[in-house]
Amino acid sequence: MLVPHRESAELTDSLDLISLPNNKNWDGRIAYLDRDGVINIGSEHYVNSPSEVELLPGAGLAIGKLRRAGYRVVVVTNQSPIGRGHWDSENLDDIHAEIRTRLLSEDSDAHLDLILFSPYAPWDGAWARKPNPGMLEAGRQLIDAASIDPDFQGLKLRFDNEWDERPDESTSFMVGDRGVDMAAAENFGVRAIRCDPEIGISGVVDSILGGTA
């Protein structure tokens, strides 16, 4: 099975979670976010370098609101330029580092707890590539495990039919701007929220939180 990849690390390398704002206790809620069209401006020719990164208006403030409300934030993004041979995962790490820097410059609480990506081309049939739910499955297991033991002692990730006794996802959600995002959310069993790709997460965050932050 072709499984997700993780930003700047092996999938099950240790993960130190940054405390939620005001030392709020985490109650299991996760905001799964697509990247292009949700956090930053996308392009039909891809975002190919850190210099091409442009955040959507208010993206940092919106992510800060989510974390202040008690959500962990997991980015799940298809990145087929790697599988197509356009560039490598190190370049993607640099792009994500730039996104993180810009988010935090807008709101000091706008930490991304985890970034997962699918490097596979569409024809690979990867379980990790949306509309399949592999990245969301990995995100839940990694965040849950890291909240108990950052070193992931004994962790074995499970996918698809191998993963039974799944946790309740009724208080979590997935935000995306495309049909594949909505399908991945449905396939995973989490609430799907579609945003306008010209506005992104800032256009839906208040309705998600009910006007609170």
Looking at the annotation, which residues are catalytic? 34, 36
Euclidean distance between CA atoms 145 and 150, whole angstroms: 7
User: Which parts of the chain are beta strand (E)?
Assistant: 5-6, 30-33, 72-78, 114-118, 173-176, 191-194
Answer whether 73's CB lies under 8 Å from 67's CB: yes
Residue type (1 letter), 32:
Y
| Sheet strands side by side (includes 191-194) | 5-6, 114-118, 72-78, 30-33, 173-176, 191-194
Please name which of 99, 110, 51, 69 lies closest in space to residue 213, comparing C-alpha atoms: 69
- In the block, tokens 């995100």 appear at 139
User: Which parts of 108-190 are beta strand (E)?
Assistant: 114-118, 173-176
